[in-house]
Structure 1
Amino acid sequence: MFEQTGTSPIAIGRRWRFKVQGLDCQNEVRLLREALIPLVGDERFLSFQPKLGLLDVDVASGLTVEAVIAAVSTTGMTAELDGQSGISKDAAGADGCRSCSGEPAPVAQALPDHPDGVIFEIHGMDCGDEVAVLKRELGPIVGPENLSFDLINGRMSIASGADLSLHADILRAVERTGMRAELWKEGERSAGAPEEQRRRRVQAGLTIASGALVLVGFAIHARANGFAAVLHESLAREAHPPVLAMLAYSLSVLSAVRYVAPKAILAARRLRPDMNLLMLVAVAGALGIGQWFEAATVAFFFALALALEAWSLGRARRAVAALMEIAPDSARIRDAAGVEKDVPVAEVAVGTHVIVPPGGKIPLDGYVVAGTSAVDQAPITGESVPVTVTQDAVVYAGTINGMGALEIVTTRPASDTTLARIVRMVGEAQSKRAPSEQWVERFARIYTPVVMALSLAAFLVPPLLLGGSWAAWFYQALVLLVIACPCALVISTPVSIVAGLTGAARRGVLIKGGVHLETPARLTAIAMDKTGTLTLGRPKVIEIIPIGTRSESELLSFAAAVEARSEHPIARAILAIAAERGIDVVPAKDVTAVPGLGVVGKINDRHVWVGSAIYLEQRLGGGDSEKLTTALKRIAGAGLTGIAVWESMTVIGLIAVGDAVRPEARLIVAQLHALGIAQVVMLTGDARAPAEAIAHETGVDEVYAELLPEQKVEAIERLVAQHGLVAMVGDGVNDAPAMARASLGIAMGAIGSDAAIETADIALMQDDLSQLPWLIRHSRATLTIIRQNIGFSLAVKLVFGGLTLLGMASLWGAIAADVGASLLVVLNGLRLIDRDQQAR
Structure 2
Amino acid sequence: MESNKKEIELLIHGMDCAEEVTLLKRELIPLLGDEDRLGFDLLNGKLSVDTSSLDVSRTDVLAAIERAGLKSEPWQDDGATSNDLSFWQKHQRSILTAVSGLFGLSGLALQLWTGESESVPIASIVLYSIGIVAGLLMVLPKAWRSLVSLRPDMNLLMSVAVIGAVLIGEWFEGATVAFLFSFSLLLESWSVGRARRAIASLMDLSPPTAHLRGEAGDVNDVAPADVPVGSTVVVRPGEKIPLDGRVLSGISGVNQAPITGESVPVEKEADDEVFAGTINGDGLLEIETTKAADDTTLARIIKMVGDAGSKRAPSEKWVEKFAAIYTPVVMIVAFLMLVIPPLVFGGEWSVWLYRSLVLLVIACPCALVISTPVSVVAALAAAARNGVLIKGGVFIEVPAHLKAIAMDKTGTLTRGEPTVVDVVPMNGHDEAELLLRAGALELNSNHPLARAIVEEAKRRELQLVPAGEFETIQGKGAAGIINGKPFWLGSHRYLEQRRQETPEVHEQLESMTEAGRTVVVVGNDEHVCGFITLADAIREETRDAIRQLHEAGVEQLVMLTGDNEGTAKAIAKEAGIDEVHAELLPEDKVVAVERLVKQYEHVAMIGDGVNDAPALARASLGLAMGAAGSDAAIETADIALMSDDLSKLPWLIHHSRRTLSIIRQNIAFSLAVKALFVVLTFAGFASLWAAIAADMGASLLVIGNGLRLLKS
Under a length normalisation based on structure 1, what TM-score does the superposition of the two structures give?
A: 0.55
Q: Which residue of structure 2 lines up, in the alignment, with residue 360 of structure 1?
A: none
What's the CA shift for 1:662?
Answer: 1.9
Write out aligned runs for 1:119-518 (5 A).
119=89, 149-150=93-94, 153-154=97-98, 200-206=105-111, 212=117, 214=118, 274-275=160-161, 278=164, 299=169, 302-303=170-171, 305-306=173-174, 309=177, 438-441=317-320, 443-444=322-323, 447-448=326-327, 450-458=329-337, 476-518=355-397
* Letter aligned with residue 544 of structure 1: V
Contact 1:593-1:600 within 8 A present in 2 as well = yes
Following superposition, the deviation at residue 728 of structure 1 comes to: 2.2
1:671 aligned to 2:548? yes
**Letter paired with 1:553:** A
Counterpart pick for 2:677 among 800, 803, 827: 800
How many angstroms does 1:759 deviate by? 2.8
Q: Which residue of 1 aligns with 2:409?
A: 530
1:103-118 paired onto structure 2 within 5 Å: 114-116=84-86, 118=88
How far apart are the structure 1 equivalents of 2:162 and 2:583?
62
Query: What is the alpha-carbon distance in structure 1 between the residues aligned to residue 69 and residue 586 of structure 2?
Result: 30
For the residues of structure 2 that align with 1:119 and 1:532, how far apart are their CA atoms? 39
Tell me the equivalent position of 1:759.
636
In the TM superposition, residue 614 of structure 1 has moved relative to its aligned partner by 4.1
State the match for 2:461 in structure 1.
582
Structure 1: any 5+ residue segments left out of the alignment? Answer: 1-6, 93-112, 122-147, 156-178, 180-192, 215-250, 284-298, 321-431
TM-fit CA distance, 1:488: 1.0
Superposition deviation, residue 725 in structure 1: 2.3
Once the two structures are superposed, what CA deviation does each residue of 1:530-579 show, in whole Å capped at 9, x if it has no partner? 22222222111111222232222222222222222222111111112222
In the TM superposition, what whole-angstrom CA distance separates every residue of 1:597-638 from its partner, at most 9, and x where no partner exists?
32222222222222223432564569xx34323321220120
CA distance in 1, matches of 2:334, 2:410: 63
Tell me how far apart the structure 1 counterparts of residues 93 and 370 of structure 2 sit (CA, whole Å). Answer: 17
SS at match of 1:686: coil
Change (3 A) 1:513 1:578: same
Aligned residue among 561, 565, 577 for 2:440: 561
Deviation at 1:659, TM superposition (A): 1.8
Which residue number corresponds to residue 46 of structure 2? 53
1:779 paired to 2:656: yes
Is 2:567 the partner of 1:597?
no
> May I ask how many residue pairs the two structures share in their alignment?
552
1:686 maps to which of 563, 586, 602: 563
Aligned to 2:153: none
1:540 aligns with 2:408: no
Relative contact order higher in (CA < 8 Å, ≥ 6 apart): 2
> Do the aligned partners of residues 602 and 732 (structure 1) sit closer, same or farther apart at CA in structure 2, a change above 3 Å counting?
closer
Q: How does 1:648-667 map to 2 (within 5 A)?
A: 648-667=525-544
Amino acid at match of 1:482: V
Structure 1 residue identity aligned to 2:654: R
Calculate the TM-score normalised by the size of structure 2: 0.64
Q: Are residues 464 and 207 of structure 1, via their aligned partners in 2, closer, same or farther at CA, if it must alter by over 3 Å?
A: farther
Compared with structure 1, are the counterparts of its residues 27 and 746 closer, same or farther at alpha carbon in structure 2 (3 Å cutoff)? farther
Q: Which of 583, 593, 604 is matched with 1:706 structurally?
A: 583
- SS in structure 2 of the partner of residue 579 of structure 1: helix
- Residues of 1 paired with 2:163 and 2:691: CA distance? 17
Please give the per-residue CA displacement for 1:91-128, whole angstroms capped at 9, x wherever unaligned.
Answer: x4xxxxxxxxxxxxxxxxxxxx643463498xxxxxxx
Alignment of 1:71-110 (within 5 A): 92=82
Q: Retained in 1: the 8 A contact 2:412–2:646?
A: yes
Write the deviation string for residues 265-311 of structure 1: whole angstroms up to 9, x where unpaired.
x99xx999834554576x6xxxxxxxxxxxxxxx4xx2453466589
What SS is found at the alignment partner of 1:153? Answer: helix
Residues 654-676 of structure 1: per-residue CA shift (max 9 Å, x gap): 11111222222222222222222
Distance 1:66 1:515, change over 3 A: farther
The structure-2 alpha-carbon separation of the partners of 1:309 and 1:708, relative to structure 1 and needing over 3 Å to count, comes to closer
Deviations 1:234-286 (A, max 9, x none): xxxxxxxxxxxxxxxxx66989877789989x99xx999834554576x6xxx
Write out per-residue CA displacement over residues 516-542 of structure 1, whole angstroms, 9 at most, x where no aligned residue.
333222222221222222222211111
For 2:405, what is the secondary structure of its paired residue? strand
Matched-pair contact (CA < 8 Å) for 1:728–1:745? yes
Q: Is the 8 A contact 1:433 1:515 kept in 2?
A: no
Distance across 2 between alignment mates of 1:657 and 1:53: 47
> Which residue of structure 2 lines up, in the alignment, with residue 637 of structure 1?
514
Partners of 2:488 and 2:618 lie apart in 1 by: 47
Cα distance in 2 for residues equivalent to 1:319 and 1:53: 20
Q: Is the 8 A contact 1:536 1:660 kept in 2?
A: yes
8 Å Cα contact 1:545/1:655 also seen in 2: yes
Deviation of the 1:486 alpha carbon: 1.3
Question: What is the SS of the residue equivalent to 1:642?
Answer: strand
Rg (Cα) greater in structure: 1
In 2, Cα distance between equivalents of 1:259 and 1:619 = 85
Superposed CA offset, 1:723-760 (max 9, x none)? 11222222352223323332233332367744334433
Secondary structure, aligned partner of 2:604: strand
The answer to whether the 8 A contact 1:21-1:78 is kept is no
SS in 2 for 1:667: helix
Equivalent residue in structure 1 for 2:10, among 8, 19, 38: 19
Instruction: Find the counterpart in structure 1 of residue 592 from structure 2.
Output: 715
Deviation track 1:298-353 (CA, whole Å, cap 9, x = no partner) reads x4xx2453466589789999999xxxxxxxxxxxxxxxxxxxxxxxxxxxxxxxxx
Distance 1:546 1:582 in 2: 18
Q: Deviations over 1:30-83 (max 9, x none)?
A: 999xx99xx9xxx9xx997952626598x9xxx64769999999xx99999987
Q: Is the 8 A contact 1:528 1:728 kept in 2?
A: yes
Q: Are the aligned partners of 1:750 and 1:765 in contact in 2 as well (CA < 8 Å)?
A: yes
SS in 1 for 2:396: helix
Tell whether 2:692 aligns with 1:748: no
Return closer, same or farther for 1:452/1:738 CA change in 2, 3 Å cut-off.
closer
